[in-house]
Structure 1
């Protein structure tokens, strides 16, 4: 009977595996038979209880692989299917079932997640069983695993597309074939792209979309839509539930993953690869394959990308990149005898990665001229390289043989517990398990074969790089590519003065890997490589080398190009030293420093310090910088570039003492006025293209806070209120997508917020804060001028009128701005109960003090007698009419200078104005130099000298004493002027 059942069980093994423990293996098989009996699978139960080679094989498999044993125990029905179908047929049936799941009328996300996990588990089990039994070659196994990943990804994509279609977010041309013409492109990368997936592999996906695809309803919303769909896709595939997971999904191979959305428009992607793509990304794209979504669009994208990946001329830079990675791997692992225990089969010496690099490097070099060398799969490309004469037949045969052997080893490691690991176990028993899974007699035989395999791979790989150039420089070993630290480089950095050499390695790797636009060209990367030793020497000589270099890294992140900068620094050691000094003393400059390399010419030009950055100066330069017919995104990028450049130049003037802090505040504010106004005009024009305009519509921006008072610092965010007006009888806008006025201006304001605050490759223009609008965060982001007037006259709180004391129109429609300024002046001039205002302001100050106590003396804004006290005094004086007559002013310093004599005696007025000047000097310099809080015990080298220079004091202890005494006087004056019970007579006394 057993023999008959054997013949019905459709598995054809070619290997006879031996278990670790024969008795234990039989018990495990018996337990699975019991599980089959419980599920009334009598045929399977009888078979497993029988005797024969198939039962022996299964017992060994389940003893060697706890993962497969547990699956068989939980779901014996998977084995039952093999009485009626072969593994191949069953896998085909599973694939068909997966393909239909997403299109079922009752499909739901949770239902699909459960179904995919159950089918994936079954397929995984069968693929492993066929592999371990020898029925399937390793080449078949990797193809089956890849096909399974394709099927699951396609099912999830189809479901999500249909769901978006049903919700009206997409309009699929052919819902029966959801992905067709959807514009959603999913490229499989790495082993998935090459149909070479390993058993417990994650899947690497890069996601793009075509905003002009027929299915896309609103191209402007496409990035958010497809990114959201991609996020859901990852959740469907990756989240662990009681049914397990489908595939771990990695999206980090997309362009610049730290700052790009999950789904990227194809045009943006093509621009990135053409301008900034690096050799490692070219190598990655060799294996790229459309695996799901709009396959035709994916193929078209890859076709457009071909000139970037496949260059016609030999690319020795690619060899240098790969060679440096190889050196680091060897430095990390050592050059002695290869230890089998704990060896990384993928990344270690003689491992799978070396074979892949061996192939891909030569593909990069020769594939541009020989299309037959552009294939994705490793082994066929070894054959193609040999056919072309690029490698010998011996290398082809040896590397092919070892590739498949190492892939079998990798699978065995992962089939033990379904873990994504490539490292051989470090215990004798567990290494014995791997040896037996691979059909070896034991650990000794396997160790010998494995070591011979690695040595053979290493020999061929080393031959490829015998003449590769060394990348070290005169200061010592400096290797910054790859994904592990070179020990010699760490020692070099430590000698140069860096305390965290591993962090510095990571930073510099980022430069050489081309994440930043500054290294967009091969020439820029060469210049940077040549500059790096001198740069590290210069930064190493600062008292805080690590921090200084990290600030320099932030600076590089914002640069659009690097050749000019690197050439300038290379040819001018004094400038390099100045750069290191600035980065060590003024970390804030890393965030505000120019995006334009030619600005460094300005540092050498004495004329820079004689030009005052007033409004006319800035306006003329801005007009020249953005002139011409420019696309919307280009205008926004150029505004960011211009603002960054001018912030830096204003800061340099302040550091050099050619302008004082008050003038710097006005310059920073004028710069914000001009660039935000330009952004508003660009938004208005762009918004009108889709939505048209509102009859009589006009917009004005009201600057609040430090922007309104023209006292911005280098690091200030911007407080704004957007107001609008339109014809009384205006209805919807007249564009293709008409909107009602309130909706129209709300959407426009949201677009302005994004235009100004959304990070792009050029950074952020300004962080916007709209919380000072009527009703704060609860109110609409755009306010009708009539609603604003009504609110300010009838509903506003005292603190809102105090805030209005600094308000001024900064941009928008000229007439509406004038109306707005007049309205603000009228509201401020309303009669008020002065005693009540003082009491409320005093209570408010006490509440702030309670809820946000100052950190220390240097928390100049919050300390008793600090900036808030002075601002409150000025604002209360403004709204209670205690300002001397004259043109309305918004700057706190100007208001304090014009306090009415019956509000504050002249000596107190002078005392307050002097205190404000001190605070302004300190905060402007600190905000220019620091990105975070001022730490008294950790002042960056050089900053204390800058503070002494700007305040004209001889010593830091003297400065602190002066600050403490000033704050004491201001608090005394605040109490006299605003505290309950204060009277004009007491307020005027010294």
Structure 2
């Protein structure tokens, strides 16, 4: 039989559906027999425990299942050699793939993809079998990536040499003396790649290297090679992809070429290098090309990265850049469902940052603290006495546990995902992959892990030198500013310390209702040092404190708030972040301080704001309201508070932008539905009912696609039906059906949109109804059907792709859903639809040009382009799957291969995720458009947190590159260019 596959019996994996798993295994084994792999075909009889394990693995991982269906023969070598030996052999084949006789770029791409897929599946199986620890998996994945990058670079260099563009010292060792420096960054540099990781590279070249024929042409030459490198590794083909490759960590990516001269790079780091770039360079490692030159670059960068003095000042800056503004204490339980294992509270990033911060502080003096690997550096830090042995053991244990969880998430479908599933089945799947008896047992262990990491992370910033009550004088008595206090305020980050003194004297003199009592003033006096420190960290401290002052002025009382903030530093920092980063949220709590009460709920951050959660809260909140006007007012109060709390979850990272969009939309569904029901009941009291009468609210736009933002209007159409012979309603004041529903609609609009003391529920837009503003406000359902079938323009059918019923009669709702589906499924002229869509986009671009590069809706390649692509594909039947979707994000993810290539589809999905993520955050924080010249620094941090990018220049470059890719796809699939 030869060597054992795993060297030991694999862990038993319970399939999701045993019968289906058995059938899928049999399909794979039968295919193996047809491919001549007879030992594998007989696996069920010869090695039943391996066969059972494979069935479980394929049931839990669609990626493993689909790959083995296509290529079962990749398992056949395991009858002769162990899995790790085979992976090492594959890595060697990858490394040598460039040197095969007759190799071309196309054949190299195919071979790298074939080999990488085989190694990838074997690593996944060993991980799932419980025989490959996470440390082994990340090492093998990193070695595989090194080999793939090296093969691609060597191929490109040798080809350039053969074409006379380079003069390599040794054609058989292309990298040596080439001057081409390829640095692996991040997890690749550290040798810690995750299962579906991107690889971060920085490309430099030595302009005076012997291989370079013309230094003036070198930038263009190596930048062209860089673009081809990305294509060789990243492009999705029929064989898959090798590694998604990212070059955005290079110096000033918005204005520099893909490959940069070493001298220019060193000048940049010396003069303009940021602390986040110092932190990034800790993990930098030559992975391909000219290794000697690469080591020379890192040696030159040592004074930039490793400073001789104890660099405590770097903590605050790196901390901010890492978007971990505080240690997240005091926010109650941590949610398991939907939790981001990488960036969330208690996650992998907190452990990595824990280590990096200590390295930046001490690495200048102690070279042994300059290593790249996270766990190895935990051990070195312990040896040097920077952390204790318990912290080292705890963080090491939880680091590998969390990496195991991350791998399981990514092994399901080979996606670069870090969020745990939100549904029961998905969580159960992850639990089984990690060997837990149940989702509950896994959740308990996962939550305990996060808490353990969080406690160490919080302790790091409690003990690190930072702003505190003892930094200097803070005296606010009398009418004259204390000079030492002014100096203290300046050191805390306030630019107008005298004005701040005046504001704080107002508090202490009891001029607000919240500070009139002696006890309140006493609590506020004790709180002031911590409060000023927290606001100082917002990086626009003066504005933040003025907003807090406005908030304080409107409070009816202050003792409870001051006591709460004093005992809850996390909540104090959250309040400071709102005041400093989110003018819109600050304005909400200033006008309506009661919304802040929702933050007192200890379960706030652990409860996902899904429809069931919001519905239960709404039902409870409306229970005591029986009068019509009171019910509407309570709806407005509820909606305002829940919008605020959803926003806070997004602000703190408890939910991501996609979940926020669903939550805002679910809230709109529920509150508009409740308002609609209240209006229908109240209207019927006076005007009765129309025989057979029923009505629904059809949600359109971002309401229909469940992608609302914090400040979105809602687009709706009101549709009604009644008995064909109905002449008027049966109330005290009867009305004809058309008049009845027109007035009912006006009442609904007033109930939802009219400003009251409690604000408005939503601004309603009815312009998407048939005939637009010229048509009646309520539409008879038969007229709607006829209009859509005979008169509607292409853009109206495109808009209809996002339509769904959000409120009203269930029977009519089902009928309207069927009507909409039938209208959308009707055959249509493909060429005409695409021509109309292309022309409409051109008109929009002419009549409503984008304000600037941050106008993510209107920029070429922005949200409108993405929506048009999704809508035209939906109308042309070019979405995979049988079910209709109103979601733009889902439609883009389901674009059929016949409509656009897999790589283009992936680019569109990533672009929509990026643009909607940025839009969600900016709409949450700002009342108007983003002004790049006057952006609150705290908002910049939030935007970076949403994209996991290090600085705004990198983000802006990423937006431009992403929009360019989208516009290229739009031109190809819609405009046929």
The TM-score with structure 2 as length reference comes to 0.49
Q: Over alpha carbons, which structure has the higher Rg?
A: 1
The TM-score with structure 1 as length reference comes to 0.48
Structure of higher RCO (CA pairs closer than 8 Å, 6+ residues apart):
2
